[in-house]
Chain A
Amino acid sequence: DAGVTQSPTHLIKTRGQQVTLRCSPKSGHDTVSWYQQALGQGPQFIFQYYEEEERQRGNFPDRFSGHQFPNYSSELNVNALLLGDSALYLCASSLVEYSGANVLTFGAGSRLTVL
């Protein structure tokens, strides 16, 4: 049973460029959350998607946008990249019907470097 898969694993961009990161959730999961993890920091919540809609959003600017597809996979788009966007971007999936907290299953992440 495949867990959460993310692509690409590493990428380098320059300031001002745009990037798209992709995520396939764990089989049976219907909710996808995206987190940004800067070096030496804990993951910071970006947003969560369920039924192809953004359910919740963290304190991130509109340059960060996302999408969820009918097969539950998701994309994270970041426009006008800044040096401070360099981080590990984590995708996590969960099952919305799970009682209590959405216990997250994380992928290995996409490491973005902005030069």
Chain B
Amino acid sequence: QKEVEQDPGPLSVPEGAIVSLNCTYSNSAFQYFMWYRQYSRKGPELLMYTYSSGNKEDGRFTAQVDKSSKYISLFIRDSQPSDSATYLCAMTSSASKIIFGSGTRLSIRP
């Protein structure tokens, strides 16, 4: 069993829709949770960073962490074609190696 599970998609939604991306994990030691966005032929870029459980909002993006369920989510409101990319969840216990999910390919249809 992988430490981090992520639905690979692809996920295709119309412009303006709310997008929900999710990951589950098995290691209860994970405390830091991140979402990275990766455009084609580019390296991942940090989108959201959350410590422990709770919600964090940044513009159209909201990250949620439920440590009791070992489940994290990223919501994108008013999705735009420019949001089309692969979204990678990532997590770590401290200043340790960061473990990534396999990524979800997202396509926003104009």
> Using a CB–CB distance below 8 Å, which chain A residues touch chain B?
4, 33, 35, 40-45, 48, 56, 58, 90, 92, 96, 100-109
Asked whether, in the complex, the Cβ of B97 is within 8 Å of the Cβ of A58, the reply is: yes
Residues of A within 8 A of B88 (CB): 42-43
Residues of B within 8 A of A4 (CB): 43
A104 to B88, CA, bound (A): 13
Interface presence of B41 (CB below 8 A): yes
- Indicate with 1 or 0, residue by residue over B83-110, a CB within 8 angstroms of chain A CB atoms: 0000010101011111111110000000
Stretch at the interface among B14-22, B45-53, B59-67, B69-77: B45-53
Interface presence of B24 (CB below 8 A): no
| Given contact pairs A58-B97, A101-B94, A106 touches B43 in the complex (Cβ within 8 A) | yes
- Indicate with 1 or 0, residue by residue over B23-37, a CB within 8 angstroms of chain A CB atoms: 000000001101010
Residues of A within 8 A of B101 (CB): 42
Asked whether, in the complex, the Cβ of B44 is within 8 Å of the Cβ of A100, the reply is: no
Please, how many residues of chain B have a CB less than 8 angstroms from a CB on the other chain? 28
| Given contact pairs A42-B88, A45-B98, A104 touches B46 in the complex (Cβ within 8 A) | yes
Asked whether, in the complex, the Cβ of B102 is within 8 Å of the Cβ of A41, the reply is: yes
Asked whether, in the complex, the Cβ of B43 is within 8 Å of the Cβ of A45, the reply is: no
A40 to B38, CA, bound (A): 12
A102 to B95, CA, bound (A): 6
Closest to B51 in A: A100
Query: Which of B4, B90, B98, B103 gathers the greatest number of chain A CB atoms within 10 Å?
Result: B98
18 new A-B pairs (CB below 8 Å) besides A42-B88, A100-B95?
A: A40-B102, A41-B103, A42-B101, A42-B102, A45-B98, A90-B43, A90-B44, A96-B95, A100-B31, A100-B32, A100-B51, A101-B94, A103-B34, A103-B46, A103-B49, A104-B98, A106-B43, A106-B44
Asked whether, in the complex, the Cβ of B43 is within 8 Å of the Cβ of A101, the reply is: no
Residues of A within 8 A of B36 (CB): 106
Residues of B within 8 A of A48 (CB): 97
